[in-house]
Amino acid sequence: MIPPFETFYATYGEEVFRYLRSRLGGERAEDAFQETFLRALRAYDRLEHAEHLRAWILTIASRIAIDDVRRRRPHDELDVDAVRHEDARPAFEELAPLTDGLPPKERAAVVLRYGYGLDYEEIGGALGSNGSAARQAASAGVRRLRRERA
């Protein structure tokens, strides 16, 4: 059963806020926080199962942060060294701005894999696909980042 929205909000609220603050700073994080959970509320009754709720809400937050960053700083420089090696997992704050130019599925897969260390099954669940599709999206994303950098 999908938990009551109150429980979901109480469980992930602080983590989402910390993430948004690290990406956007205090004041903008507050607006993004509200937007993140309102967007989740809008989609909440269409969820089919309660797995991967964490990955789901962090994906929403990351999209909103990316939109916010893009709106304010359209000419970010790319530095993909951070995502070259799977072992050298960069902090999510460093990784996310690099992925701004990726198509949404690839961006989400790269961020969730390398920024959050979720496994491909979890990512597939969060993105409404499956493990192998998530793996493909993540590696396509990394290839694209390398090409853009070259």
Partner 1 sequence: MITPELDRRFRDAAAATGLLDAAFDVVSDTPIGDLLVGVTDHGVCRIHFDPEPERELESLARRFGPRVLRASKPVDRVRRQLDEYFAGRRQAFELDWDIRLLPEYNRRVLTQLARVEYGTTVTYGTLAKLTGNAAAARAVGTVMNRNPIPIVLPCHRVVGANGKLTGYAGGLDRKELLLKLEGAL
In this complex, which beta carbon is closest to partner 1, that of residue 4 or of residue 104?
A: 4
Query: Is 36 or 62 the residue whose CB approaches partner 1 more closely?
Result: 36
Rounded Cα distance, 106 and 138, in Å: 6
Instruction: State yes or no: residue 9 binds partner 1 (CB under 8 A).
Output: yes
Go through 59-71 and write b for each residue having 16 or more CB atoms within 10 A of its CB, e for each that does not. Answer: bbbbbbbbebbee
Query: Which position among 12, 17, 114, 120 is part of the footprint of partner 1 (CB under 8 A)?
Result: 17
Question: Per CB under 8 A, does 44 bind partner 1?
Answer: yes
DSSP code at position 28: H
Q: At which residue do the structure tokens 């993909």 appear?
A: 80
Rounded Cα gap, residues 46 and 82, in angstroms = 36
Cα distances from 49 to residues 1, 43, 115, in angstroms, run 7, 12, 24
By rule CB under 8 A, what count of residues binds partner 1? Answer: 21
In angstroms, give the least distance from the CB of 66 to partner 1. 21
Of 9 and 90, the one with the shorter C-beta distance to partner 1 is 9
* Binds partner 1 (CB under 8 A): choice among 22, 28, 30, 69: 30
Q: How far apart are CA 29 and CA 104, in angstroms?
A: 21
Site for partner 1 in 47-66 (CB under 8 A): 47
- State how far the Cα of 14 lies from the Cα of 146, in Å rounded to an integer: 34
Q: Is 2 in the site for partner 1 (CB under 8 A)?
A: yes
Binding site for partner 1 (CB under 8 A): 1-7, 9, 13-14, 17, 30, 33-34, 37-38, 41-42, 44-45, 47
